[in-house]
Structure 1
Amino acid sequence: MSEHSRPNTVSTGGRIQDKVAVITGAASGMGRATAERFATEGAKLVLADLDQEKLDAVAGELTARGCDVLAVAGDIASEADVQRLMNEAVRHFGRIDILIANAGVIPEADLASATADLWDHTMAVDGRGMFLSCKYAAAEMVKAGKGAIVCLSSISAFAGQKGQAVYGPAKFVASGLTKHLAIDLADKGVRVNAVAPGTIDTPAVAKMGKEGIEKVVSMHPLGRMGRPEEVASAILFLASDEASFITGAVLPVDGGYLAQ
Structure 2
Amino acid sequence: MPDNIIIRDNVAVITGAAHGLGAAMARRFASEGMQLSLFDRDEQALLSLSESLAVKTCSTVGDVASNEDLQTFYNNTKTEFGNVSLLVNNAAVNTGAGPWDEPERWLKHLQINLLSAITLQHLFVPDMLSHHTPAAVVNLGSKEGITTPPGNAAYSAGKAAIKVLTEQLAHELRQIAADRVTAHLLIPGYTWTPMNFPGMDEKNDIQPEAAWTAAQVVDYFITGFTRGDFYILCPDNEVTPEMDAKRIAWANQDIIENRPALSRWHPDWKEQFDTWMKK
Structure 1 partner of 2:263:
none
Quick one: which amino acid aligns to residue 232 of structure 1?
V
User: C-alpha root-mean-square deviation of aligned residues, in Å?
Assistant: 2.2
Misfit runs of 4+, over 4 Å:
none
Query: Which has more radius of gyration?
Result: 2
Does the aligned pair in 2 maintain the 1:76–1:132 contact within 8 Å? no
Task: Report the counterpart of residue 20 of structure 2 in structure 1.
Answer: 29
> Does residue 258 of the first structure (1) align with residue 244 of the second (2)?
yes
**Cα distance between partner residues in 1 of 2:37 and 2:29:** 11
Could you say which residue in structure 1 is the equivalent of 2:155? 167
Q: Are residue 141 (structure 1) and residue 128 (structure 2) matched? A: yes
Counterpart of 2:219? 233
Answer whether contact 1:158 1:172 (CA < 8 A) is retained: yes
**1:122 and 2:103 matched:** no
SS of 1:166's partner is helix
The answer (yes or no) to whether the contact 2:145–2:159 under 8 Å persists in 1 is: yes
Q: Is 1:206 matched with 2:187?
A: no
Instruction: Report how many residues are paired.
Output: 226
**What SS class does the counterpart of residue 204 from structure 1 fall into?**
coil
Percent identity between matched residues is 27
Q: Which runs of 5+ in 2 are unaligned?
A: 201-207, 247-279
Alignment deviations for residues 34-65 of structure 1 (CA, whole Å, 9 cap, x no partner): 11111111110111111212111111111xxx
The correspondence for 1:72, drawn from 60, 67, 92, is 60
The answer on whether the counterparts of 2:190 and 2:212 sit within 8 Å (CA) in structure 1 is: yes
- Structure 1 CA distance, aligned partners of 2:157 and 2:199? 20
Q: Which amino acid aligns with 1:233?
A: D
- Tell me how far 1:174 sits from its aligned partner: 1.1
- SS of 2:17 mapped into structure 1: coil
- AA matched with 1:19: N
Correspondence 1:40-189 to 2 at 5 A: 40-62=31-53, 66-107=54-95, 109-111=97-99, 114-145=101-132, 146-186=134-174, 187-188=176-177, 189=180
Letter in 2 for 1:224: A
Q: Secondary structure at the match of 1:205?
A: coil
What's the offset of the Cα at 1:99?
0.5
Q: Give the TM-score normalised by the residue count of structure 2.
A: 0.75
Query: Bigger CA drift: 226-235 or 188-197?
Result: 226-235
Equivalent position SS for 1:206: coil
Q: 1:34, 1:235 within 8 Å by CA — same for their partners in 2? A: no
CA distance in 2, matches of 1:115, 1:232: 36
Distance verdict in 2 for CA 1:129–1:20, change over 3 Å: same
- Report SS of the residue matched to 2:7: coil
User: Which amino acid is the alignment partner of residue 100 of structure 1?
Assistant: V
